[in-house]
C-alpha cells in the first residue's frame, strides 16, 4: 500500500492506495477533524460510531470500515479506522458541518484523478517515477518497477473485463499468483521484509520484481487463451501462471544457491530496525 498524506483546506487527511485491490482508503478521524474542527476528533468519532452502531443494530456502523496502520502525529505507526469514499460519504452526511459539501467534492476529485490515471496510466507512472527518484531508487530498479506495473495493469484490465470485482476478488487472485511463484503469501512476504502498511512491490528486489511480472504476464496469457471469466476460472489461471514463475524461481535458486524471496527493503535504517524488532521471530529470520 502507498500512504499518501494530502491536504484539504490546509488540514492533512491521510489516505492509502492499495495497488493490489486498486482501492483508496481514507482516515476517518482525519475527515471528522476537518468536519468538526474538534479538539478531540477521536472522541467525537468514537461517540458517533457508537451512535451509528446503535441505530444500525450492529457493532460497526458499516462493514467497510477497517483498521490500517498510519503514521500518527508522534511519528509512530498506529491502527486507524479507514474507509473507502462511499462509506465516508455516508459518515459525512451524519456530521452537521458547513464543510460537508466541500469534503464531498474533494472525495469526488480524488476519485476523478484515479479515473484519469486508469484512462492514461502514464500519469500515474510519471508521478511514481518522481517519487521513486526522490527515495533514491536506481534508474534500473525504476524501469523494472514500471515494467512490472504495466504488466499488472494489463492483468487487472483483463480481470475487470471478465467479471472480477476490484477489491476483495483482486486481492484473492493476487495472493494466489504470489503464493504460487514465491512460496509465501503476500502477508508473509511483507513480514519477511519487516513491512507494515507499505507497498510490497516498492520494496522488492530486482529479482522479485521480475518474477512477479513473469507470474502476472503468464496468468494473463493463460486467462486470455482459456477465456477465463469469473473468479473460479481466473483462480485456475492464476495458479497456473504463478506456477510457471515458481518453477523458474526454483531453477534459479538451485543454480545460485540463493533464495529469491529476500528480506531486503528500502525502509530508512531506523524504521527498518524498529520494524524487524516488532516481527515474530520466525518471520524476522
pTM over 0.85: no
Would you say residue 172 lies in a domain?
yes
111/146 same-domain check = no
User: Does the residue 177 lie in any domain?
Assistant: yes
Query: Which grid cell sits at 232?
Result: 473460479
Is residue 185 in some structural domain?
yes
In a domain, 124, yes or no: no
Confidence (pLDDT) at 122: 54
Query: Is the same domain home to 269 and 154?
Result: yes
Residue 279 pLDDT: 46
pLDDT tens, residue by residue, 213-232:
999 999 999 999 999 999 99
- Give domain status of residue 248, yes or no: yes
pLDDT band at 283 (very low <50, low <70, confident <90, very high): very low
Rounded-to-integer distance, Cα 68 and Cα 74, Å: 17
pLDDT band at residue 74 using 50, 70 and 90 as cut-offs: confident
Q: Report the pLDDT value the prediction gives residue 252, as an integer from 0 to 100.
A: 98
What is the C-alpha to C-alpha distance for residues 15 and 86, in angstroms, rounded to an integer?
14
Are 155 and 273 in the same domain? yes
Does 132 map to a domain? no
CA dist 129 → 1, 98, 142 (Å) = 16, 38, 7
Residues 153 and 278 in one domain: yes
Domain assignment present for residue 162? The answer is yes
Give pLDDT, residue 140: 93
Q: Quick one: pLDDT at residue 125? A: 64
When divided into structural domains, the chain yields a total of 2
Q: Which of 116, 147, 182 is the last residue of a domain?
A: 116
Measured CA distances, 275 to 71, 94, 193, 253, 270 (Å): 13, 37, 9, 27, 9
pLDDT of residue 278: 47
Task: Taking residues 33-38, report their average pLDDT.
Answer: 88
Of residues 111 and 39, the one with the higher pLDDT is 39
Residue 123 within a domain: no
**Helix residue ranges per DSSP H, the chain:** 28-36, 41-56, 85-93, 100-119, 121-134, 139-161, 168-182, 186-193, 206-226, 230-256, 269-278, 281-284
CATH code (residue 45): 3.10.260
Examine the pLDDT at 56 and tell me if it is beyond 80: no
Band of residue 117 on the pLDDT scale cut at 50, 70, 90: low
Q: What is the pLDDT of residues 148-201, one digit of tens each?
A: 988 998 999 999 999 998 778 999 999 999 999 999 999 999 999 998 767 899
> What is the pLDDT at residue 272?
47
Whether pLDDT at 257 is above 90: yes
Residues 40 and 86 in one domain: yes
Note down the domain range covering 269: 139-284
The mean of the pLDDT values for the chain is: 83
Q: Are residues 250 and 165 in the same domain?
A: yes
Cα separation of 120 and 197, whole Å? 26
Amino acid at each position: 500500500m502507498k500512504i499518501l498524506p494530502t491536504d484539504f483546506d490546509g488540514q492533512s487527511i491521510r489516505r492509502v492506495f492499495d495497488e493490489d485491490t486498486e482501492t483508496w482508503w481514507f482516515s476517518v478521524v482525519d475527515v471528522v477533524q476537518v468536519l468538526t474542527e474538534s479538539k478531540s476528533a477521536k472522541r467525537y468519532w468514537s461517540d458517533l460510531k457508537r451512535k451509528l452502531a446503535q441505530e444500525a443494530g450492529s457493532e460497526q456502523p458499516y462493514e467497510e470500515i477497517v483498521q490500517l496502520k498510519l503514521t500518527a502525529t508522534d511519528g509512530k505507526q498506529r491502527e486507524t479506522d479507514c474507509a473507502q469514499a462511499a462509506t465516508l460519504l455516508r459518515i459525512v452526511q451524519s456530521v452537521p458541518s458547513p464543510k460537508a459539501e466541500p469534503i464531498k467534492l474533494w472525495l469526488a476529485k480524488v476519485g476523478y484523478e484515479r479515473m484519469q490515471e486508469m484512462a492514461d496510466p502514464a500519469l500515474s507512472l510519471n508521478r511514481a517515477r518522481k517519487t521513486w527518484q526522490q527515495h533514491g531508487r536506481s534508474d534500473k530498479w525504476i524501469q523494472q518497477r514500471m515494467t512490472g506495473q504495466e504488466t499488472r495493469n494489463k492483468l487487472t484490465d483483463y480481470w475487470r473485463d471478465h467479471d472480477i470485482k476490484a477489491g476483495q476478488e483482486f486481492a484473492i487472485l493476487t495472493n494466489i499468483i504470489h503464493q504460487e511463484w514465491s512460496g509465501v503469501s503476500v502477508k508473509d512476504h511483507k513480514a519477511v521484509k519487516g513491512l507494515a502498511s507499505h507497498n510490497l512491490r516498492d520494496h522488492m528486489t530486482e529479482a522479485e520484481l521480475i518474477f512477479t511480472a513473469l507470474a502476472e504476464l503468464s496468468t494473463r496469457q493463460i486467462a486470455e487463451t482459456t477465456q477465463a471469466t469469473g473468479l473460479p476460472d481466473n483462480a485456475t489461471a492464476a495458479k497456473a501462471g504463478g506456477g510457471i514463475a515458481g518453477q523458474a524461481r526454483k531453477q534459479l535458486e538451485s543454480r545460485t544457491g540463493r533464495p529469491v524471496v529476500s528480506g531486503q527493503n528500502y525502509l530508512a535504517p531506523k524504521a527498518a530496525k524498529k520494524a524487524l524488532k516488532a516481527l515474530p521471530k520466525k518471520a524476522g529470520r
